[in-house]
Amino acid sequence: MAKVEILTLGSLAKLVNLNGLYLVAYAWLFGMSVWISFFGGIIAFKSLPRHQFGALQHKTFPVYFVISIILSSSLIGTWIFKHPDVVEQLTSPTIADVAQLYALATVLLSQASNYFIIGPMTSKTMFQRQRLEKEEGKTYSDPGVSVEMKALNRRFGALHGISSLANLAAIIALIFHGLWIGDAGVKGY
């Protein structure tokens, strides 16, 4: 028979601890990443006219990246606090706790590069392309667009691809970390 525990204010207050907060932060980051990447964006793309979709993404993604940066930084700080040996063993990525730090660092670096570098370049290119569409009276995918439009299309495609790959790397790293903490837990030593 399972142990019967009566919930009291005191027992509920004990739930707010570093391990519990770590799991909530991880769940928030993972859930948000999956939703934004695989569901919210696709729904918006199918539901909105292209320019409105672009404007929505331009406003949504910076918020997503900032929250990702804050949460992944918090997870890194907590992981190091709970596993202090990882700093000394940083050059040994085959050590499980160090590998988890690398996974979290992958999330941080991927989302920071998207926020500070790739995202702004992608948005700038998107808006340049929209201005050129107005000037040429054609959409970017119409036959006979200018050489300049073709160059912007290539640039936008490359930047969007790099951003998507960085985001996918973050999600894969989060899956790896989630599987690890699901098996080994968060507790350090």
**What confidence tens digit (pLDDT) does each residue in 88-131 have?**
999 999 999 999 999 999 999 999 999 999 999 999 999 999 99
Rounded CA separation 77/104 (Å): 10
Three-class SS string for 52-105?
HHHHHHHHHHHHHHHHHHHHHHHHHHHHHHHCCHHHHCCCCCCCHHHHHHHHHH
Q: What is the mean pLDDT of the chain?
A: 96
In this model, does residue 187 exceed pLDDT 90? no
